Structure 1
Amino acid sequence: MDTDEFQAVLERMLQLRLDCPPDGDGATAPQDAPARPAAADDDHAKVKQSAAEWTEVLVGEMASAASMDDARRRAAKILEAFGGAVCTPAGHVLADKDRELANIRRQNSILKKAVLLQHRRHVEDEEKGRELQGQVAQHREQVRQLEADKYVLSMHLRNAGGGASMPGNFNPEVF
């Protein structure tokens, strides 16, 4: 394989990204990797920088290989390092997402309990309201009955007394 093919393969592998965070391009670079230049403004430039660095490492290792078996071993080592560089950030992102999901589930559980508690209180309040309305209706009926009894008694008093407020021959000034 020549340098252009390695460059193309590396660029395709880096474009996969495998859920890497946008600000990281790999946490575990191979030990033979050259120092990274200053970060570029856009993600595309980061991918290009990283691809160029990986290409340099790969080409350097292949050039120093003594045999085809040595080249295979070195390529496998580099690909493992590359896989680690891609998978490690993806693992961190996955762990972050798992923590967020656990937090959201915990909040959801709390909200469900709160809604259930509010619902129970609402049902109790409605029940108490119906009970109070029944008591009010019962008291109104008692008041109506008492007013009717009062009217009947006052009519009996008028009929029995012949129109006088007190029956009998009493001096009104005494009482």
Structure 2
Amino acid sequence: MSAVVCGKRSSYFFEDLNAPSSSSSSSSAAISPPISKRIRCSSSSPVRYSSTRFIAIDRLTLLFPHMDKQLLERALNECGDDIETAIKSLTELRLGTVENFTSVVNSVAGNESNQQFQPQANGFANGEHSQPQSEPVDGAEWVNLFVREMLSASNMDDARTRASRALELLEKSITERVTAEASGLQQENVMMKEQLQVLIQENALLKRAVTIQHERRKEFEDRGQELHNLKQMVSQYQEQLRTLEVSLPNSKNILSTLFSRSQICVHLTSKLNTLACSDCVFFFLIILQVNNYSLTMHLKQAQQGNSIPGRFHPDVF
């Protein structure tokens, strides 16, 4: 049996979808033919329209805007121009068509869902702890998994079982991922601690090396300063020897000897740069004392050999 609904264009699309259901049909509907059949079987004799009929058709058009106007007129004609009966008949016709269309759409969608996800649905329904072929990796895939399981459920108990098992799978996946991330973070923390210990040891060694280098540099500067002072002392003694040589021309040989000794002293001083500072100073002081003592003795001898004190020796002239 065919039905015509939802206007002129939609009437062709929904043909042959309005099949009668045994559960929703009443005893009166089983005895009397449907409205659409009665409309088709009605006479096509012209009907005289009155103002009351026009008002009824306008009311039906307002209540059922998606139905064809000819269908409304035929329904009103079949009901003997009774507007209430026509409204009731058209409402039953519309509800029956919508229910049939919905059942057809649901059956098609259910078949596609069962064909596509039958292995997973069977696994959850039978109580098996089987996991999907590829475990979801993000939120969108988990949502799709839940939707598929809910579509595959046959009743509320089955839906609860499927939801429980899906949640267990999600909890297991989250636990494994969190455990793996925590293990990775712990290993990274251990590596960072080891690197920190190595850096601390290297820092301590560098500090010690800098301290030793600073001490050596300070010691080298002190030795350089002492050597500079000794060189100044040698220069002063050389100047004193030159002054004595000018003031005592008769004791030139003695002064030359002393000057040669002072040169030897300077040479020894240059050689003492490789010795320790304390040893160098001690040795240099001994040499200076010996030179001073020799110079004093020679000067006394020169003064005693002069026959005319305060004058030049007569043999010189």
Residue 182 of structure 2 aligns to a residue whose secondary structure is helix
Query: TM-score if structure 2 supplies the norm length?
Result: 0.34
| Aligned equivalent of 2:134 | 36
User: Per-residue CA shift, 1:33-66, capped at 9, x if unaligned?
Assistant: 43238x8xxx8xx421122224545776785847
User: Is residue 132 from structure 1 mapped to residue 220 from structure 2 by the alignment?
Assistant: yes
> 2:232, 2:192 → 1: CA distance?
59
Query: TM-score if structure 1 supplies the norm length?
Result: 0.58
Q: How does 1:7-156 map to 2 (within 5 A)?
A: 31-36=129-134, 46-57=138-149, 63=155, 65=157, 71=160, 78-156=166-244
Task: Give, in angstroms, the shift of residue 121 of structure 1.
Answer: 0.6
> 1:129, 1:54 → 2: CA distance?
77
Q: Does structure 2 conserve the Cα–Cα contact (< 8 Å) formed by 1:32 and 1:57?
A: no
Paired residue total: 128
Residue 161 of structure 1 aligns to a residue whose secondary structure is coil
> 1:51, 1:116 → 2: CA distance?
57
Task: Give, in angstroms, the shift of residue 32 of structure 1.
Answer: 3.4
Residues 59 and 110 of structure 1, relative CA distance in 2, 3 Å threshold:
farther
Q: Which shifted more, 55-64 or 83-92?
A: 55-64
> 2:168, 2:144 → 1: CA distance?
17
Q: Does structure 2 conserve the Cα–Cα contact (< 8 Å) formed by 1:33 and 1:57?
A: no
Structure 2, unmatched stretches of 5+, are 1-127, 255-301, 303-317
Residues 90 and 100 of structure 1, relative CA distance in 2, 3 Å threshold:
same
Q: Which has the higher contact order (CA 8 A, sep 6+)?
A: 1
Residues 144 and 58 of structure 1, relative CA distance in 2, 3 Å threshold:
farther
User: Per-residue CA shift, 1:85-117, capped at 9, x if unaligned?
Assistant: 112111111111111121112112211211221
Residue 166 of structure 1 aligns to a residue whose secondary structure is helix
Larger radius of gyration: 2
Residues 113 and 61 of structure 1, relative CA distance in 2, 3 Å threshold:
farther
